[in-house]
Amino acid sequence: MLTQPESPRFTAHRLTRRDFVALGAATLAPLLPGCTTGQHGAQATTAANTLRYPLSSPPTTLDPALVQDGTTIDLLQNIFEGLVVLDSSSRVVPGIAEKWTISSDGKIYTFNIRQGVKFHNGRSVTAADFKYSLERACGPALNSQTVFSYLNDIVGAMDCRNGKATAISGIRVQDPSTLVIEIDRPKSYWLDKMTYPTGYVVCQEVIQENGGKIEAGSAVGAGPFKIAAPADYQSNYQVTLTSFSGYHAGKPKLDHIVRPVLPDPSTRLAKYQADTLDIVKISPTDVDHVNADPTLKPDLHLYPRAATWYLGMNSAAPGSPFGDKRVRKAFAMAIDNGAITQVALKNLMDPANSVVPPGMGDYHSTCVPLPFSPSMARTMLASAGYGTSRPFPSLALTFRNDYQWVADSAQVLAHQLQQNLGVTVQLQPMEWGQFLDNLDRKTMPLALERWEADYLDPQDFLSTLLHTSRKVNGQEDHPENNTGYSNVQFDQLCDEADGELDPAKRIALYQRAEQIAINDAPWKPLFFQKDVELDKPRVHDIRDCALGHLPFTTTYVSG
Amino acid sequence: MFLILLVVFAAVRLAPSSPADILLGQHANAASRQAINHQFHLDEPLPVQFWLYLKGVFLHGSLGESYIQRGQSVTSILSAQFPVTVQLAIQAMLFAVVLGLPLGIVAAYYQNTWIDRLAMAFVVALTSVPSFVLGPILVLVLAIKFHLLPVAGWDSPVYTILPTVTLGARTAAQLARFQRAALLDVLSQDYLRTALAKGLTRSRALRKHALRNASLPVLTVLGVNFGNLLTGSFVVETLFHVPGIGYQSIQSINNRDYPVIQGVALLVAAIYVTVNLVTDLLYRAVDPRVRDLESQQN
């Protein structure tokens, strides 16, 4: 046992300045330069005209045919490009295709490839490269899941994906600068789908040299930026992009984009405050802190996104009371969206009165929302047979647990349901993966959910999420309908709109369908998402659309 | 090692949800999930999955491929990130040694004086503040307020200072406490009184006799702590954007990247075994009594 006996001979003596200096020097010695930081040291790009913009999670792949997460898509769109792209009005405009024509039946698209478009290795892009890229994406060996959603409309694409064919019959190279693509039926939204990475052109010979894989050394695209050396891609640390001087629309104004991988929001904010980042996304919960800081406040920007947060009332869940439309309507009328955005979201996001968010091309919702009326809500619930003799069953409100502002919103929702409808709901935060699993299995009667557009067309909200889902060959034909909603009239309108080629007629059909969905209330739309971001004043000309920032072709950093 | 593999294999699969859910995001549905599960053999019965994993590890020396970082083997991920963690741990240990040991020595030397009390107050403060509090405080003061050091990253040696201090602070405090207690114990021994009575100076007695004998318990603490520093840097690596295995572990757990989680667990187990072995060997080198005991037994 250690003891602390008296040691009279070891009494204190005065510490000299030399003692302190020696102690201090010894303490700091291991921290002085001389130790190595390996290859990471090479990436400290602080040169002028470099944009420093963090990734919130490590990129998952460099292969456009495999990418699924928004963070990686945001990275890849600066390296690769497809036939068509989105502009800052969220409209589809020419990309590598200079122009295109659509046959009178709306099924055959003929694209003219722009002259002088080059891959990062200097080779010209031809129509054959697009055929190769799309067939590679659909090849069963790659096992891409995204092609089921984005390339499934092309005639023969699914045969290729399922191993029944080696080529896509609906794609034909007419000549080196003309590509013909046939889709299964007229779909006005198909071009929107082609803006997704599965439509990007990739460089055949480089991929084949790399054993069919797209990695740091073989991520050769035709986009405005390139990965200059494999060491520039450290998926867990930092990715550095270098401008491509041969880009068809002219060399980008930025020299480099440095994207450190920073999953921790507080680290991102701290680095921004220390002036080592130019752009950061922040959480709505950090806005009070930002507003209180006069140096940060002017940098705050809100970017509207094509994403709707809603209360999903699932009639398919076991024992769910939401099979009764009156119950769904009662819940919808008991909720005041304005209170949620004010209390939980600090007025950073807009209350939602429709299923389809703003920013979806030419589409604008015209639907009339169900009124916020606690008295009507209580009457509606009573008409469904609930009251003192038959109390409403106990319910859980499930939501993902990784965002504080989502939890805050759920809390306000629960309070409103209790106060306005007398219904008690238990808050049930859930880990993201588990939440997705339960959503797909339709086990949650009441959930705070979000749908973020895959492409900017109302079809991606109305037909994708609310059309009746039926089993075809053992698989759901509308697997994203997580609420079990079914209305024949709604289905007919959506089916008609999906195939309608006249834009005005099509919009009118979707508007009618949306009003039906609002009246039936499988969803209670709550708010439209906005990204909250800090942008340094020295960053200019960021292009943005409803899906996020566009490739940084025009952006520059001054001073 | 087999047991560790089995426990980790079972534990990661007990967590709710699956890699397919994370990969598919809002498009997670039965058909897509089934295809992903098939690709990674997650649709096989668990014993078959375990057998495939064992076969990979023992027959082919392969820890598998990441589910999330497509195309990257677990070995390549760990071999890129482990050296970073080792460097951080070594720096933190050196920092702890050069701060903690002198602090302990000074406190013991000046026992029951204001210097002792000041040193011990400092030690208590360092022990009490967890790294997730100390780190942000250091960032706020040294990086944001005074711009003396970078906030986060691993670009050059100066970037390593804050993570090193944050990670090493608690170990420094522990070492100081142990060093002080061990030294006080030795200083009370009769042989030291004899040495001083024979006319040895205080500092010479301390250096020649007391410190060496007081180093044994400290060495044990050092060994255990080095293992902790190597494997306990999860928070610090995430906070300071250090691309080591701690940071990788957090990412992999969040993404249900089973092969990487299993690889990290295996590595951590190997580290603990190695560190304990090295500590035992050092113990033998420092203390002749251990060697004598061994030779007697032989």
Tell me if chain A has a CB within 8 Å of the CB of B142.
no
Backbone angles phi, psi at A130, to 5 degrees: -70, -40
Position A105 confidence tier, pLDDT thresholds 50, 70, 90: very high
Q: Phi/psi zone of residue B29: left (φ > 0), alpha (ψ -120 to 50 degrees), beta? A: beta
Segment A238-266, tens digit of pLDDT: 999 999 999 999 999 999 999 999 988 88
Token pair of A536, please? 């340094």
Chain B neighbours among A 34-73 (CB < 8 Å)? 34-38, 40-41, 43-44, 57-58, 60-61, 63, 66, 68-69
Tell me if chain A has a CB within 8 Å of the CB of B185.
yes
Measured CA distances, A482 to A348, A355, B252 (Å):
27, 14, 28
Tell me if chain A has a CB within 8 Å of the CB of B193.
yes
Position A35 confidence tier, pLDDT thresholds 50, 70, 90: very low
Residues from chain B contacting residue A37 (CB–CB below 8 Å): 87, 154-157, 159-160
Segments in chain B below pLDDT 50: none
Question: Is residue A14 over pLDDT 70?
Answer: no
The rounded distance, in Å, linking the Cα atoms of A78 and B95 is 43
Which pLDDT does position B164 carry in this prediction? Answer: 95
Q: Which amino acid is at B252?
A: S
Question: Is residue A7 over pLDDT 50?
Answer: no
Q: How far apart are the first and last CA of chain B?
A: 30
Of the segments A67-76, A406-415, A436-445, which one has the largest average pLDDT value?
A406-415
- H helices within A168-239, ranges in order? 190-193, 204-209
Q: A548-549 and A544-545 as β-strands: parallel, antiparallel, unpaired?
A: antiparallel
Percent of chain A with pLDDT over 90: 75
Which pLDDT does position A4 carry in this prediction? Answer: 37
Q: Is A545 helix (H, G, I), strand (E, B) or coil?
A: strand
Which pLDDT does position B61 carry in this prediction? Answer: 81
Chain B neighbours among A 255-284 (CB < 8 Å)? 260-264, 266-267, 270-271, 273-274, 276
Which pLDDT does position B267 carry in this prediction? Answer: 87
Position A12 confidence tier, pLDDT thresholds 50, 70, 90: very low
> What is the mean pLDDT of the segment spanning A506-521?
97
Residues from chain A contacting residue B246 (CB–CB below 8 Å): none
Contact between B152 and A433 using a beta-carbon 8 Å cutoff: no
A200 against A69, higher pLDDT: A200
Among A222, A280, A229, smallest CA distance to A248 is for A222
Tell me if chain A has a CB within 8 Å of the CB of B87.
yes
The rounded distance, in Å, linking the Cα atoms of A321 and B42 is 35
Domain A57-258 annotated CATH 3.40.50.1370? no
CB B245 within 8 A of CB B267: yes
Element (H, E) at A131: helix A127-138
Of the segments A44-48, A296-300, B3-7, which one has the largest average pLDDT value?
A296-300
CA–CA min distance B4, chain A (Å): 26
Residues from chain B contacting residue A306 (CB–CB below 8 Å): none
**Residues with Cβ < 8 Å from A200, sequence gap 6 or more?**
A64, A76, A80, A81, A82, A133, A221, A223
**Which burial class, exposed, middle or buried, applies to A99 when counting CB atoms under 10 A from its CB (0-12, 13-18, 19+)?**
exposed
> What is the mean pLDDT of the segment spanning A207-213?
93
Please report, for chain A, the start and end positions of each structural domain, with discontinuous segments joined by +: 57-258, 304-531
A358 against B187, higher pLDDT: A358
Name the closest residue on chain A to residue B206, using Cα atoms: A10
Question: Is residue A18 over pLDDT 80?
Answer: no
> What is the mean pLDDT of the segment spanning A299-316?
96
Which pLDDT does position B187 carry in this prediction? Answer: 81
Question: Is residue A34 over pLDDT 60?
Answer: no
Question: Is residue A232 over pLDDT 80?
Answer: yes
**Which burial class, exposed, middle or buried, applies to A16 when counting CB atoms under 10 A from its CB (0-12, 13-18, 19+)?**
exposed
The rounded distance, in Å, linking the Cα atoms of A218 and A231 is 13
**Which burial class, exposed, middle or buried, applies to A35 when counting CB atoms under 10 A from its CB (0-12, 13-18, 19+)?**
middle
CB A192 within 8 A of CB A457: yes
Q: Which amino acid is at B14?
A: L
Tell me if chain A has a CB within 8 Å of the CB of B40.
no
Tell me if chain A has a CB within 8 Å of the CB of B234.
no
Position A13 confidence tier, pLDDT thresholds 50, 70, 90: very low
- Fold of the domain spanning A304-531: Dipeptide-binding Protein; domain 3 (3.10.105)
Compute the residue count for chain B.
298
Segment A82-95, tens digit of pLDDT: 999 999 988 999 99
Question: Is residue A183 over pLDDT 70?
Answer: yes
Q: What is the mean pLDDT of chain B?
A: 86
Compute the residue count for chain A.
559
> What is the mean pLDDT of the segment spanning A61-77?
93
Q: What is the mean pLDDT of chain A?
A: 89
**Option in B83, B188, B250 nearest A38 (CB):** B83
**Residues with Cβ < 8 Å from A363, sequence gap 6 or more?**
A356, A457, A458, A507, A510
